[in-house]
């Protein structure tokens, strides 16, 4: 660790992993509720499990992005963090807000939660992924502003590199687009139209910039390839991300009441959205091929390459699968969407966060470069367990989605939703089994932080 | 002057190897035209290409032919089973896309990366076929 203030990243990473565990557990509960409808009812109804599953994902990814930024920005800017105290304070504010929100979801009915948190004063609740009480959303804005101030001031007084500027651009976009969560018009079309400005422009826009910057940072550090080479790639990748991602928002406008021209704009531009992910894959492998040293932290390299491949498959290939409007007419909101969502989030954002955690944690824990060999072997096992499990989750959900579209929306006698759900239950069972394997992988990942800690560090780089 | 010529040949070979793998990948998305370009490249350089270029051009050409056959077969199946507006069209499209495309895409991606690094590469299974 080159700068003392980078240490503030550690609690962010630990809390992120804890929330990741919660997310997966609630995912498993919900997965079981698909086939055993009254499992844990009324204690944890399906809608609550779903809310915790998706909200925990968003919060832990944000927390890990913040941890990643607090770690990499001082190193890139070659100066201490502007205010480590503010970063630590914001960590606790964010954690307590997240914990209270989850407790609210689990202990109160959603309408009571809305009353208790005075949603009526500024109604923002009740929308998918943005279910958080208004007061939590205000807390997120405060944390995001303080975070941006801290990171921005650090960059301003230090070295400006392409990596930290792209990261800052992504983080600023993240904060700005979240403000649309407060716009909640009565007109449902308008509501959905701007709701996507948070959801789509985050994951298929500014988050990709954050992903690109973190990936580039880890590759600079682990491969020793010239920064200039990596930066040129980064420029092209972010340009393609923004060119395709912004108008690609149109693929969400097909059926919400927006003008018909979005069928064309959305189809064409979102069909190009795999391009930046494709370039990211070529970029990562190319840089690793050109490496000037063999870094002893093997799992970090594995996660970095895994991110590039899985993001391309999940976000790019599985996205294209249902993005053209004539196809989407049948597949919209089916399990094909869930398949894409799972692999894309895992491949792009879960894996990039684990990549930076994998790279930074040994250093944050006082090692020179890497964990002991035994710990690395456990971590690489966790990579394969989680990644293969996610591939199978995606395949089973895709199978379920194809059958669902076929039975429910095509043919002379389309069947009702719940009748079809019964018929695709085999896929749900298989998905649940794959989910359990994923959980085992996650347990192995956490165990990798504790095994072999008294062993000597893996051989230093050559 | 022999050394600069040799260097130029190596650079040209690498560029064409990258273009070949790129055309193979493009053929997965927009079949036929990239295959025609690859066929022309293959016929034009088959006799003279050596080393890196021969390796990648041959692999990409074989791969593109197989990918196009699979794509054509999927379309024929759709037409036989009732046309593009039939129940089967979506199922065949989705199955083709989740089974064939990733299986053909990943070797192509690795081939492109190897070509850019100036290294040879053989597609799994289909790479041993002779043309």
What residue ranges do the domains of chain B occupy?
2-117
pLDDT value for B31: 87
Q: Are A248 and A270 in contact (CB under 8 A)?
A: yes
Taking contacts as CB-CB distances below 8 angstroms, the residues of chain B near A387 are none
Nearest Cα residue to A76 out of A176, A139, A6 = A6
pLDDT value for B6: 61
Of B93, B95, B113, the CB nearest to A286: B113
Taking contacts as CB-CB distances below 8 angstroms, the residues of chain B near A406 are 87, 90-91
Interchain contact, A278 vs B109, CB within 8 Å: yes
Of A278, A286, A313, the CB nearest to B102: A313
Chain A CB within 8 Å of residue B100 CB: no
- State phi, psi for B73 to the nearest 5 degrees: -60, -40
Taking contacts as CB-CB distances below 8 angstroms, the residues of chain A near B109 are 278, 281-282, 285, 312
Q: Are A247 and A197 in contact (CB under 8 A)?
A: no
Chain A CB within 8 Å of residue B102 CB: yes
pLDDT value for B131: 60
Q: Using one digit for the tens of pLDDT, what is the confidence trace for B113-129?
A: 999 988 888 888 777 66
Most B CBs within 10 Å: which of A402, A411, A414, A427, as the mutation test of the B interface? A402
pLDDT in tens, chain A (462 residues): 899 999 999 999 999 999 999 999 999 999 999 999 999 999 999 999 999 999 999 999 999 999 999 999 999 999 999 999 999 999 999 999 999 999 999 999 999 999 999 999 999 999 999 999 999 999 999 999 999 999 999 999 999 999 999 999 999 999 999 999 999 999 999 999 999 999 999 999 999 999 999 999 999 999 999 999 999 999 999 999 999 999 999 999 999 999 999 999 999 999 999 999 999 999 999 999 889 889 999 999 999 999 999 999 999 999 999 999 999 999 999 999 999 999 999 999 999 999 999 999 999 999 999 999 999 999 999 999 999 999 999 999 999 999 999 899 887 789 999 999 999 999 999 999 999 999 999 999 999 999 998 898 887 554
Chain A CB within 8 Å of residue B81 CB: no
Q: Using CA atoms, how far apart are residues A309 and A316, in angstroms rounded to an integer?
A: 10
pLDDT value for A293: 86
Q: Using CA atoms, how far apart are residues A201 and A381, in angstroms rounded to an integer?
A: 34
Nearest 10 degrees: Cα torsion A61, A64, A69, A72 = -130
pLDDT value for A87: 98
Chain A CB within 8 Å of residue B117 CB: yes
Q: Could you give the residue ranges of the DSSP H alpha helices within B30-120?
A: 33-45, 51-80, 87-95, 101-116
Question: Residue A179 has what DSSP assignment?
Answer: G
| Domains of chain A as residue ranges with CATH | 1-160 (1.20.120)
Interchain contact, B91 vs A406, CB within 8 Å: yes
Chain B CB within 8 Å of residue A40 CB: no
Most A CBs within 10 Å: which of B30, B83, B93, B98, as the mutation test of the A interface? B98
Q: Using CA atoms, how far apart are residues A180 and A200, in angstroms rounded to an integer?
A: 12
Chain A: nearest CA to B88, how far in angstroms?
9
Q: Using CA atoms, how far apart are residues A198 and A188, in angstroms rounded to an integer?
A: 16
Chain A: nearest CA to B110, how far in angstroms?
8
Of A282, A321, A331, the CB nearest to B113: A282
Looking at per-residue confidence, does B116 or B8 come out higher?
B116
Chain A: nearest CA to B80, how far in angstroms?
17
Interchain contact, A321 vs B109, CB within 8 Å: no
Interchain contact, A317 vs B93, CB within 8 Å: no
Q: Which residues 57-76 on chain B approach chain A with CB closer than 8 angstroms?
A: none
Chain A: nearest CA to B64, how far in angstroms?
18
Helix (H, G, I), strand (E, B), or coil: what is residue A457?
A: strand
Chain B CB within 8 Å of residue A290 CB: yes
């Amino acid at each position: 660790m080159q700068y003392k203030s980078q240490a503030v990243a550690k609690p962010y990473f630990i809390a992120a992993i804890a929330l990741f565990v919660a997310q997966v557990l609630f995912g498993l509960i919900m997965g079981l509720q698909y086939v055993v409808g009254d499992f844990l009812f009324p204690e944890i109804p399906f809608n609550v499990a779903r809310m915790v599953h998706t909200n925990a994902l968003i919060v832990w990814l944000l927390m890990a992005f913040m941890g990643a930024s607090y770690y990499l920005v001082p190193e890139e800017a070659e100066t201490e963090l502007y205010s480590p105290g503010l970063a630590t304070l914001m960590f606790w504010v964010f954690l307590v807000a997240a914990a209270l929100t989850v407790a609210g979801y689990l202990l109160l009915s959603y309408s009571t939660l809305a009353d208790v948190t005075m949603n009526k004063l500024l109604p923002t609740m009740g929308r998918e992924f943005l279910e958080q009480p208004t007061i939590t959303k205000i807390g997120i804005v405060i944390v995001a502003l303080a975070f941006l101030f801290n990171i921005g001031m650090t960059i301003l007084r230090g070295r400006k590199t392409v990596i930290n500027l792209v990261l800052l651009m992504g983080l600023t976009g993240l904060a700005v687009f979240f403000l649309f969560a407060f716009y909640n018009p009565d007109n449902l079309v308008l509501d959905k139209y701007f709701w996507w400005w948070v959801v789509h422009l985050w994951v298929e826009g500014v988050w990709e910039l954050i992903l690109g910057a973190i990936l580039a940072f880890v590759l600079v550090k682990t491969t020793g390839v010239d920064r200039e080479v990596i930066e040129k790639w980064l420029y092209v990748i972010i340009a393609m991300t923004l060119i395709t991602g912004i108008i690609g928002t149109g693929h969400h406008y097909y059926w919400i009441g927006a003008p018909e021209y979005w069928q064309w704009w959305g189809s064409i531009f979102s069909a190009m959205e795999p391009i930046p992910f494709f370039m990211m894959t070529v970029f990562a492998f190319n840089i690793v091929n050109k490496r000037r040293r063999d870094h002893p932290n093997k799992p970090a390299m594995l996660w970095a390459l895994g991110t590039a491949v899985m993001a391309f498959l999940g976000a790019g290939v599985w996205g294209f699968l249902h993005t053209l409007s004539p196809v989407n007419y049948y597949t919209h909101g089916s399990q094909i969407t869930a398949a894409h969502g799972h692999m894309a989030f895992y491949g792009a954002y879960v894996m990039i966060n684990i990549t930076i955690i994998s790279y930074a944690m040994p250093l944050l824990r006082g090692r020179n470069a890497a964990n002991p060999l035994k710990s690395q072997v456990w971590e690489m096992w966790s990579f394969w367990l989680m990644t293969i499990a996610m591939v199978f989750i995606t395949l089973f959900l895709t199978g379920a989605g194809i059958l669902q579209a076929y039975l429910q929306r095509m043919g002379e006698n389309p069947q009702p939703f719940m009748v079809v759900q019964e018929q695709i239950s085999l896929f749900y069972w298989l998905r649940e089994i794959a989910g359990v394997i994923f959980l085992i992988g996650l347990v192995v990942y956490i165990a990798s932080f504790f095994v072999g800690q008294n062993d000597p560090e893996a051989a230093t780089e050559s | 002057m022999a050394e600069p010529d040799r260097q130029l040949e190596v650079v040209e070979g690498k560029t064409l190897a990258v273009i070949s793998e790129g055309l193979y990948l493009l053929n997965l998305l927009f079949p036929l035209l990239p295959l025609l370009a690859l066929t022309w490249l293959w016929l034009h350089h088959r006799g003279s290409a050596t080393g890196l270029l021969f390796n990648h051009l041959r692999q990409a050409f074989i791969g593109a032919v197989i990918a196009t056959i699979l794509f054509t077969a999927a379309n024929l199946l759709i037409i036989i089973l009732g046309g593009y507006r039939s129940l089967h069209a979506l199922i065949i499209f989705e199955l083709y896309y989740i089974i064939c495309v990733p299986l053909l895409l990943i070797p192509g991606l690795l081939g492109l990366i190897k070509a850019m690094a100036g290294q040879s590469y053989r597609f799994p299974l289909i790479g041993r076929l002779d043309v």
